[in-house]
Amino acid sequence: MLFVASLGFGPVPIAPGDVLRALAGRLDGPLAIIVTEIRLPRALLAVLIGAILGLSGAAMQGLLRNPLAAPSLFGAPQAAAFGAVACISLGVGDALSWMLPVAAIAGAFASVFLLIAVAGRNAGLLILILAGLAISALAGAGTALALNLAPNPFAALEIAFWLLGSLEDRSFRHLTLAAPFMLLAAGLLLWQAPAFRALTLGEEVAQSLGVAVGRLRLVVIIGVALGVGASVAVAGTIGFIGLVAPHLMRPLVGHDPSRLLVPAALAGAALLSAADIAVRVIPSTTDIKVGVLTALIGVPFFLFLILRERRALGGGLA
């Protein structure tokens, strides 16, 4: 429903029936061009990016056995953005080059690897947040340096707006750049679903059950880096989807991380699709970036989760 609504909302409203006829090839004229050539790539990217962010968040929570873990909180999108911005600033590739997702994926891979290497296997929440803050700060400083060294003010302004996160003016070329990496990432993360269930019992028990914990960690790192890097390369930084989506689905599927992956992906796709619709219908003089809206929603949600964890810890101590 959100996907069809996304194709109908915009400066030119289109009825759901006309949207379906355009998708089926039974509608001609300007409305069909608007649906199939302008809005369809944007809607597909919203579904794919939201799904991979939700899936990555659920996988990170399962790997680290921490309900507050998410790629957006621990530097992966910021590092991916730095990789993409550096690629553009150095002239290695432009916004439609295959080098852009490769550079963004490399940055995301480096950040997730650093997080696990610095924080350790059994890190607590405080250590994870501190390590994530350090990685985010380092990536942010690198991005600021790239902006400072931009060849001209127009390039700097373009990079700054791109970092806010947006699905506006996206084409099938962007979809072609990102989709293969995101589909590969989804396959890698879903492949490890049974291992997440065993990991809830602890690493030693999981190893006794035949789970190669080291390989699991490496596959999850690669999958998260591929998915987050590809999404940042075509849409900029879109945060908190990976944190919010698993928590919305956990009451419905229980605390088994292997059962949470697919529902979290679906919830992430729905959240980003809804946010992309909202930025088009909220009255404003300029277009609101979808990354700004997800942050405005995600930050209060994250604070609520922290307060809930604190109350639970207080009750346990009492």
DSSP secondary structure code for residue 151 in this structure: S
pLDDT of residue 314: 65
pLDDT of residue 318: 45
| 254-279 residue pLDDT tens | 878 999 999 999 999 999 999 999 99
Q: Which domain holds residue 144?
A: 2-317
The answer to whether 139 touches 75, Cβ cutoff 8 Å, is yes
The model's confidence at residue 8, banded by pLDDT at 50, 70 and 90, is very high
Find which of 97-101, 194-198, 285-289 is predicted with most confidence, using mean pLDDT.
194-198
For range 156-168, the mean pLDDT? 79
Q: Say what the alpha-carbon torsion angle 43, 49, 52, 58 is, to the nearest 10 degrees.
A: -100
Please work out, in degrees rounded to the nearest 5, the angle formed at the alpha carbon of residue 288 by the alpha carbons of 283 and 293: 105
pLDDT of residue 84: 85
* Cα 301 to Cα 11: distance, rounded to the nearest angstrom: 31
Tell me how many domains the chain contains: 1
pLDDT of residue 269: 96
Tell the residue number behind the tokens 């700097």, with chain if given.
Answer: 156
pLDDT of residue 54: 95
Number of H helices, E strands in the chain: 15, 0
Among 214, 200, 233, 213, which residue's Cα sits nearest to residue 76?
A: 233
Q: Say what the alpha-carbon torsion angle 140, 275, 187, 202 is, to the nearest 10 degrees.
A: 70
* Cα 167 to Cα 277: distance, rounded to the nearest angstrom: 11
Residues 6+ apart with CB under 8 A from 203: 121, 122, 213
Tell the residue number behind the tokens 């699709």, with chain if given.
Answer: 273
| 115-152 residue pLDDT tens | 778 776 566 656 777 887 888 889 889 888 888 877 77
Could you tell me the CATH number of the domain that includes residue 120? 1.10.3470.10
pLDDT of residue 122: 61
| 12-54 residue pLDDT tens | 889 999 999 999 888 888 999 999 999 999 999 999 999 999 9
Residue 286 has pLDDT above 80, yes or no: no
Length of the chain: 318
* Cα 53 to Cα 238: distance, rounded to the nearest angstrom: 9
Residue 93, class by beta-carbon neighbours within 10 Å (0-12 exposed, 13-18 middle, 19+ buried)? middle
* Cα 79 to Cα 238: distance, rounded to the nearest angstrom: 13
pLDDT of residue 94: 65
Residue 59 has pLDDT above 90, yes or no: yes
| 61-85 residue pLDDT tens | 898 888 878 887 778 888 888 988 8
The model's confidence at residue 317, banded by pLDDT at 50, 70 and 90, is very low
pLDDT, averaged across the chain: 85
pLDDT of residue 95: 63
For range 193-217, the mean pLDDT? 86
* Cα 231 to Cα 229: distance, rounded to the nearest angstrom: 6
